[in-house]
Amino acid sequence: MPDTLEVIKEAIALGQYRRARKILRIVLDISPTAELWYLASTICETPAQEMGCLKAALKLDRQHFKARERYVELKRTQNEAMMPPLMALVDDLPIAEFASSPPPIPDIFAYKREQQARLRRRWNYLGCGGSILLSLSSAYFVLTVMGSPIPAQIRQFLSGDAPAIPEGEINFGRPTPKPGDGAVSQLPVDGTPAPAGAPTLENYAAEATAGGFIVQPQKTQSLASSQPVNDVLDPGFSHEYLMEARRGDELLVAVQFFSPTAANVAGNVAILDPDGYNAGGQCQRDSIMADGSGAAFICKVNKPGVWRLQLFGRSGESTGVYIVSYQRT
């Protein structure tokens, strides 16, 4: 391209031979022409190098006047025979494919511009991909907060963990034997072997929960007093939080869901005492908000140890993002 040729000529005119050689080395490797080889001959350091460049120029263009003239002059200077007729000079050399119509000189600046354009396109692709991922992440977060089942289905698909959602009444903890039940007097006390033939606690539990199911948490976490924790509860999953308590303490426990589909949280949460029994009978239950999206408990601790808060995720009642906290007074 003329731009590159002019740059080379300007460098030679200014005596910047090193710069001109660097540019010529690049363009001669890509697409050599007679004019380029002639320009190279004008900045050679030895006559032998100059002669080689002139021969290369005449090999590509038999009619290049300046190259031929300088070639004859060099031969005369070296006391060699006059240059033979032009046809005899080049007959033994391969004829260039484009001798009659030399290929254009490549524009190295245009090549750089093309490289920069490719780089910009690559960054544009990355930017578009990042925007799509950000949009998907935002949509995922909004759907999670809204209590949509879609995020839960995505998580279950990726993890391969999709528990079947049981039907029937929810039972939290070990069933508590009631006075007057015929089997209660025969149930073994903790640490005491059961008499031969006596009903076991497991059998009693099976009878007490007939038609329902006992919640089995898939996730357990310790909860520190006055330090709220947030999480996401999916349909069919259960979370459990452990709380240390001393005899005589009063536990204040609160659970609040933020999805608009959470409408019956109180029916899907429970407090268990250190023995694993549902402590609903000794806890005062209340609602945080009138829409049923939360629940609160005030429990008098009659037995020291680890108390538990269990939450069960049921679609349309208690799923989505929630926050839980407790205080011990």
Return the domain boundaries, the chain. 2-106, 147-169+217-329, 174-214
Beta strands 238-245 and 229-233: pairing type? unpaired
| Rounded CA separation 243/328 (Å) | 9
| Rounded CA separation 100/245 (Å) | 99
| Rounded CA separation 118/289 (Å) | 57
Structural tokens at position 101: 């119509």
pLDDT value of position 194: 53
* Fold annotation for 147-169+217-329: Jelly Rolls (2.60.120)
pLDDT value of position 210: 54
pLDDT value of position 184: 44
- The arithmetic mean of pLDDT across residues 65-94, rounded, is 68
- Supply the DSSP string of 177-223, one letter for each residue: P-TT-TTGGGSPPTTSPPPTTPPPHHHHHHHHTTTEEE---SEEEE-
- The arithmetic mean of pLDDT across residues 224-240, rounded, is 89
pLDDT value of position 101: 54
Beta strands 250-257 and 294-300: pairing type? antiparallel
pLDDT band at 57 (very low <50, low <70, confident <90, very high): very high
pLDDT band at 220 (very low <50, low <70, confident <90, very high): very high
2 phi and psi angles, rounded to 5 deg: -55, -35
Of 91-100, 235-244, 251-260, 280-289, the range with the lowest mean pLDDT is 91-100
Across 256-279, b (16+ Cβ under 10 Å) vs e yields: bbbbebbeebbebbbbbbeeebbb
pLDDT value of position 241: 95
Q: What is the mean pLDDT of the chain?
A: 77
User: Would you say residue 9 has pLDDT above 80?
Assistant: yes
Of 38-47, 104-113, 174-183, the range with the lowest mean pLDDT is 174-183
| Rounded CA separation 305/312 (Å) | 23
| Rounded CA separation 139/154 (Å) | 13
Helix (H, G, I), strand (E, B) or coil at 294: strand
pLDDT value of position 259: 81
- Top-tier CATH class for 2-106: mainly alpha
User: Would you say residue 80 has pLDDT above 60?
Assistant: no
Count of C-beta atoms within a 10 Å radius of residue 75: 16
Structural tokens at position 285: 């239950």
- The arithmetic mean of pLDDT across residues 89-117, rounded, is 63
| Rounded CA separation 53/21 (Å) | 12
Which pLDDT tens digit goes with each residue over 127-146?
A: 877 777 677 777 666 666 66
| Rounded CA separation 31/8 (Å) | 15
For residue 99, CA distances in Å to 27, 51, 103, 322 come to 17, 20, 9, 80
User: Would you say residue 245 has pLDDT above 70?
Assistant: yes
